[in-house]
């Protein structure tokens, strides 16, 4: 008769069964928040986003209005990704990039509300990174219309960094968040799957951040437009009266490179007198013949013609 007691089972198993390896320590899977906790995390993420956007956008609006010449509008990818110049600022391709960035932010935001595989410090850092990128992205999509009216599409940067670059508080938030995430992950033992997920998330957010930067357009007042030939000619030549006749007065030295032809014509547009004035000409007064009806000035280099005076009697 076989003894069915428990004492003999291990021996029987060792004698008739294969050797069993010691059971490994089970790894903790990447935990997913329960529904109430997910709602709490979603509220916390929304609060972080609102706070970052409020501070970031408020400082951007003030900088655009109070710091002329120091604000940069990042609208292109030529600085961050030289192989794709103009990608974000293009009216069609930029819209495609905007949609892709929006999708990545929605996916990463939903992931942050559900995953609880790392502690509060790491989660806070990840939330700051996400909110900073979202603030810059929303600024580039629609925010600049209010923050920097009259500018092209782009994120507003106003903090100078060693005269080499310009950033904003959203960029600072991203940097602080990355420091928190790296510090927390370095000091905490978390499941390998969670580490991989965090690494992938950061790897996806870096190009998103790059696509919201690069290129520049300053808020400095535009330089005054160069004076047209007609404006320069009127500033240099003046039609005056001398007794009963008329004359062209050379009031100031002509612009460098000026060589002009002055024609005095009658009512039938026939030339009555003509003068060739060079840059170094010292002529101060041109006496107009009787019957002069109009005076034309021609820039010899380009053939551009302006009417200095018309309807003279």
193-244 pLDDT, tens digit per residue, is 766 766 676 666 666 665 555 444 444 455 667 778 888 888 888 888 765 5
C-alpha dihedral, 114 to 116 to 122 to 124, nearest 10°: 50
- Give the domain CATH number at 258: 2.60.40
* In a shared domain, residues 44 and 170: yes
pLDDT tens-place values along the chain, 313 residues long: 444 444 454 555 445 455 545 555 454 444 545 566 778 888 888 999 999 999 999 998 898 888 877 777 766 544 445 445 556 666 667 667 777 777 888 888 888 887 655 677 888 888 998 999 888 888 877 777 788 777 766 778 888 877 767 788 988 998 898 888 878 777 666 666 766 766 676 666 666 665 555 444 444 455 667 778 888 888 888 888 765 578 888 877 777 778 889 999 998 999 999 998 887 777 778 888 888 999 999 988 888 898 998 888 7
10, part of any domain? no
- The total number of structural domains in the chain stands at 2
226, 212, 225: which is closest to 101 by C-alpha? 212
* In a shared domain, residues 51 and 154: yes
170, part of any domain? yes
Of 211, 238, 260, the last residue of a domain is 211
58, part of any domain? yes
20, part of any domain? no
Domain around 236: 229-310
163, part of any domain? yes
154, part of any domain? yes
Q: What is the pTM of this model?
A: 0.53
* In a shared domain, residues 188 and 40: yes
């Amino acid at each position: 008769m076989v003894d069915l007691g428990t004492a003999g089972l291990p021996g029987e198993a060792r004698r008739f069964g294969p050797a069993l390896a010691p059971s490994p320590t089970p790894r903790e899977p990447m935990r997913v928040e329960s529904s109430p906790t997910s709602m709490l995390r979603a509220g916390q993420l929304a609060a972080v986003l609102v706070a970052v956007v409020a501070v970031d956008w408020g400082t951007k609006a003030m900088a655009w209005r109070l710091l002329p010449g120091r604000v940069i509008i990042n609208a292109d990818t030529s600085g961050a990704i030289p192989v794709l110049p103009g990608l974000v600022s293009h009216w069609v391709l930029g819209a495609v990039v905007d949609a892709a960035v929006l999708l990545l932010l929605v996916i990463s935001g939903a992931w942050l509300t559900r995953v609880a595989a790392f502690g509060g410090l790491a989660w806070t850092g990840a939330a700051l990174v996400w909110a900073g990128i979202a603030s810059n992205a929303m600024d580039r999509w629609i925010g600049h219309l209010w923050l920097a009216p009259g500018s092209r599409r782009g994120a507003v940067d106003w903090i100078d960094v060693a005269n080499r670059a310009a950033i904003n508080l959203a960029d600072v938030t991203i940097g602080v968040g990355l420091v928190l995430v790296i510090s927390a992950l370095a000091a905490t033992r978390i499941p390998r799957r969670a580490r991989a997920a965090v690494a992938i998330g950061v790897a996806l957010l870096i190009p998103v951040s790059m696509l919201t930067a690069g290129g520049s357009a300053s808020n400095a007042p535009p330089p005054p437009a160069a004076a047209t030939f007609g404006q320069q000619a009127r500033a240099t030549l003046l039609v005056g009266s001398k007794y009963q006749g008329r004359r062209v007065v050379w009031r100031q030295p002509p612009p460098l490179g000026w060589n002009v032809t002055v024609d005095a014509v009658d009512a039938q547009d026939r030339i009555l007198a003509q003068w060739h004035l060079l840059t170094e000409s010292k002529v101060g007064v041109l006496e107009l013949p009787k019957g002069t009806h109009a005076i034309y000035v021609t820039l010899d280099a380009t053939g551009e013609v302006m009417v200095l005076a018309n309807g003279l009697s």
